[in-house]
Structures are given as structure tokens and as C-alpha cells.
Copies of this chain bind each other. A is one copy, B any other.
Amino acid sequence: MTGQLISDEPTTAVLSGVRLAKEIRAEVTTTAATLAEAGVPPRLAVVVATDDESTAWYVRSIANAASKTGIRCDVIDLGAGATPAEIRSELASLSADPSVHGIMLQTPLPGGATVEELAASIAPEKDVDGANPVSLGRLSAGLAAFVPATAAAVLELLEHHEIPLSGRRAVVVGRSNVVGKPAAQLLLRRDATVTVCHRYTRDLTAHTHPAEILVVAVGQVGLIGAEHVSPGAVVIDVGTNPTVDGGLVGDVDETAVTGMVAGLTPVPGGVGPVTTALLLRHTVESASRSTA
């Protein structure tokens, strides 16, 4: 039967973000060098107010990526005891500093403070992770604004892998301000018909099954299995759930849906690297505009 390797099983494309991230970082490196030569070395400031280990890990990975592309990255650790007023004051002072082009505020925040309230102190033109409600409003109104990097990464990946969006049925699971809501806005802007599902959604399968594009951003291992998807679907897994052995898995049961769907982003190596690369791109964009 040699030569008859015919299979009825559809293949699932692995929608990697690695090459895309590399391309973005290369472009950022070029722009950063040009800016530095012009006397505007691009600079990103990350404000941290937590002892959380996974935050520290994430911030280190951003700082490393920044330094490799020629962006100076300052991590300003205010400590887990910082008050909302101290955080606001730091964000305002970085906003006023002409040598700083990008500002990020890391979660978690101490004592019940919310990103939405505090991020209003980040100057919109330096709000490279789209955390200021002004940025979200401008996005929603169709105006120019920095989009939260993770949501932007979802769209960049879809575009990179040439997934058509206009008129197609997109379903977003999760409604956070940093991923679900802005991703829904971006898909809507690209003329997809968009449904947002969340913890109160009854019969999640009924909503996700007809999805042509499924974006999952909840933070729950195994949330999406074979019964939730249909052949031809493109699935973007935004979940990054730590495993006991120090790895990461997404919200989608990769084993269950592979062979069923048309495409799936891996975790790690999908949305994550693109997100970091976009934060850097936003920073050089801000720096470029500051010289205009």
C-alpha cells in the first residue's frame, strides 16, 4: 500500500507567531537605530508594584527583548506596598519626561487598585499597551490609538497568516479590557460579525461551534475542546496558563482540536512573542512621532 498515504483527516496549520515576531523585532531594531542616530534613543518604562514572580518573569522578558532591539527599558519597581497615589504620580512624571516614549503599568496592583483607574495617568501618546481608557475609547470610536498589545497581536497573527475577516463569523471568549473587548473591537473594525462570550454565556458550545474565527482569552486550561469547534475554524489561543513543570499551556485543548480545525496558534510561540514585539513597535512609533 506504499504510496497510498491518503488521509481523510484534515490537517491543522500551526499558526506560529515566532517568524512574525522576528520580523517585527527586525523592523523595530532598524527604526530604533535610526532614532538613536537622530538623538532620540527610544525608551520604554515599565512600572511594577507587586512581588508576583510571574510578573517579574514577564517584565524581564520584555526588558530583554527591548535591549536586543536597541530600546532602553527601565523597570520602575514601586514595591507591593505602593499606594494608588504613588503609582499615579510615577505615571504622570514618566508622562511628562520627554526622554520616555512608552509607559506600561504591570498587574497585579496593590490594594484593589485597578489598571483602568490608574492608567488614566499615562499620557495617551505614550500608552503603548493601550491601558488608558482614552485609548480604548479612541479605538472603539475608530480613531488612531495604541491598541492593547495582546489584542493587537491577535489581529497581526490573523493578518500574517492571511485569514480573511470581512463578513466572517468571529467569536471572542473572554471580555477583559486588555484582550477580549479590544480584540472584539478590532475584529468588528475589520468587518467581521463578532460575538463576545464570557462566564455567564449559556451553552458556550452553541456559540463557539459556528465560529470561523475563534479567539480564546480566558485563562482556563482545557476550556475549548473538540466539541466547541468545527472544521475550517481558525483558533487563536490567548491563554497562558503555567503548568506544574514550569511550562505554559493555553485555554484550548491542543490535542483534542488538532486535526479538527484549520488552524491553531501554539502556546507558547503563538500570541505571546508577537505581543512583546508589538510593545516594542509601539514604543518606537511613539518615539518617531515625538521627533515629528
User: Most chain-B CB neighbours within 10 Å: which of A136, A138, A139, A181?
Assistant: A136
A200 to B194, alpha carbons, bound, how many Å?
Answer: 11
CA distance A177 to B140 in the complex (A): 8
Say how many copies of this protein the assembly contains: 2
* Contact assessment for A193 and B198 in the assembled complex, using a CB-CB cutoff below 8 Å: yes
The A87-143 residues at the B interface (CB cut-off 8 A) are 116-117, 132-143
A193 close to B188 (CB less than 8 A): no
A196 located at the interface, meaning its Cβ lies under 8 Å from any Cβ of chain B in the complex: yes
Residue A175 lies at the interface, judged by CB distance under 8 Å to chain B: yes
Tell which of B133, B142, B143 touches A141, judged by Cβ atoms closer than 8 Å. B133
A191 contact from B116, B167, B198, Cβ within 8 A? B198
| Residue A166 at the chain B interface, CB threshold 8 Å | yes
| A75 lies within 8 A of chain B by Cβ | no
Bound Cα distance from A30 to B140, whole angstroms:
36
- Complex: how many Å from CA A207 to CA B167? 12
Q: A198-B193, A200-B166, A202-B167 are in contact. Are A138 and B137 (CB under 8 A)?
A: yes
Shortest Cβ distance from residue A274 to the other chain B in the assembled complex, whole angstroms: 23
Q: Please give the distance in Å from A276's CB to the nearest CB on chain B.
A: 23
CB atoms of B133 and A177 under 8 A apart: no
Residue pair A194, B196 in contact (C-beta under 8 Å): yes
> Across the interface, do A195 and B198 meet the contact criterion of CB distance under 8 Å?
no
Does A197 count as interface, using CB distance less than 8 angstroms? Answer: yes
Asked if A175 and B198 make an inter-chain contact with CB atoms under 8 angstroms apart, the answer reads no
A-B contact pairs, 7 of them (CB 8 A): A133-B138, A133-B143, A140-B140, A167-B201, A168-B202, A175-B188, A188-B198
New A-B pairs, 5, CB < 8 Å, besides A116-B143, A133-B143: A133-B141, A167-B200, A169-B202, A184-B196, A194-B196
